[in-house]
C-alpha cells in the first residue's frame, strides 16, 4: 500500500480531493502575499498565517486518514506538491508533521514520491526539534543579516547527501534562496532578539521542545 493507503478510491473522488488540496495551497499563498505586502509577515509568525496553517493541517489530517500519502499517481503532481506544502506549513501540529513524514517515507520507498520532498520535510522537522539538519534546506537570517543555512550535521558531506536525493549543491541552493528573498522584498527581523524569544516560546507552546 503506497504511502499507507487505507482504501481504494475512484478517479472522481481523488480529483475532488486534489481540488481541495489546491484550494488550501492557494489560500495559504494568498494570505502570505497579503501579509508580505502589508509588511507584517517578517517579524513574527503572524496569527492570521498560523490560523490558515492550522486549519489546513486539520483538513490534511483527514485526507491522510482516508487516502494515505497523496501521491502523484492518484492526485497528480500538483496535488502531491500541494499536500507536501501544507504539511511543511503544519508547524503548529508536530504530531501531524511526524505522521506525514512516515507516510511520505513509505511513498518514497515505493517510488511513489520524490525523495527531495522527504529530505526537505526531514530538515524542517529536525530544525524544529532543535537538531542539525541533513540537507541544508532550511535557511534563516544570520547575525550579518544574510540568509544562511541553519546548523548542518556533518557539513562536509552535505553535497553528497543532497545529490543522493536529486538536489543541487548547497551553495547553489543558498544563492537561489537569497535571490528569491531579494525579489520578494524579504528582510531580517527588526528586533532579532525579540523574534528569537517569541520563537522559543512558540516552540514550547506547540510541543516541539
**What does the pLDDT look like over 58-99, one tens digit per residue?**
999 999 999 999 999 999 999 999 999 999 999 999 999 999
pLDDT beyond 60 at 12? yes
Over residues 138-160, the mean pLDDT reads: 97
Whether residue 93 contacts residue 54, with contact meaning beta carbons closer than 8 Å, is answered with yes
pLDDT beyond 60 at 5? no
pLDDT beyond 90 at 206? yes
pLDDT for res 185 = 87
pLDDT beyond 60 at 175? yes
Written as nine digits, the cell of 178 is 537569497
Whether residue 63 contacts residue 83, with contact meaning beta carbons closer than 8 Å, is answered with yes
The domain ranges of the chain are: 1-113, 131-209
- 158's CB contacts (< 8 A; 6+ apart) are 134, 135, 136, 152, 170
pLDDT, the chain, mean: 94
In angstroms and rounded to an integer, the radius of gyration of the C-alpha atoms of the chain is: 17
Condensed to tens digits (0 to 9), the pLDDT of residues 106-127 reads 999 999 999 999 999 999 999 9
The residue behind cell 520532498 is 117
- What CA–CA distance (Å, rounded) separates 161 from 180? 24
Q: What is the pTM of this model?
A: 0.94
Of the candidates 108, 105, 82, the residue with the CA atom closest to the CA atom of residue 29: 82
- What CA–CA distance (Å, rounded) separates 205 from 23? 29
Amino acid at each position: 500500500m503506497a504511502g499507507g493507503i487505507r482504501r481504494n478510491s475512484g478517479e472522481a473522488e481523488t480529483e475532488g480531493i486534489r481540488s481541495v488540496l489546491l484550494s488550501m495551497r492557494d489560500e495559504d499563498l494568498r494570505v502570505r502575499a497579503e501579509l508580505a505586502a502589508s509588511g507584517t509577515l517578517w517579524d513574527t509568525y503572524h496569527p492570521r498565517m498560523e490560523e490558515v496553517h492550522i486549519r489546513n493541517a486539520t483538513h490534511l489530517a483527514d485526507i491522510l486518514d482516508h487516502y494515505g500519502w497523496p501521491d502523484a499517481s492518484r492526485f497528480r503532481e500538483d496535488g502531491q506538491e500541494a499536500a507536501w506544502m501544507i504539511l511543511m506549513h503544519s508547524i503548529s501540529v508536530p504530531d501531524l508533521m511526524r505522521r506525514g513524514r512516515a507516510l511520505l517515507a513509505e511513498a518514497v520507498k515505493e517510488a511513489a514520491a520524490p525523495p527531495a520532498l522527504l529530505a526537505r520535510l526531514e530538515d524542517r522537522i529536525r530544525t524544529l526539534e532543535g537538531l542539525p539538519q541533513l540537507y541544508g534546506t532550511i535557511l534563516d537570517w544570520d547575525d550579518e543579516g544574510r540568509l544562511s543555512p541553519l546548523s548542518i550535521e556533518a557539513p562536509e558531506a552535505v553535497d553528497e547527501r543532497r545529490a543522493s536525493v536529486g538536489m543541487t549543491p548547497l551553495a547553489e541552493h543558498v544563492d537561489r534562496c537569497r535571490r528569491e528573498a531579494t525579489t520578494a522584498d524579504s528582510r531580517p527581523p527588526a528586533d532579532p532578539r525579540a523574534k528569537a524569544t517569541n520563537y522559543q516560546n512558540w516552540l514550547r507552546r506547540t510541543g516541539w521542545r
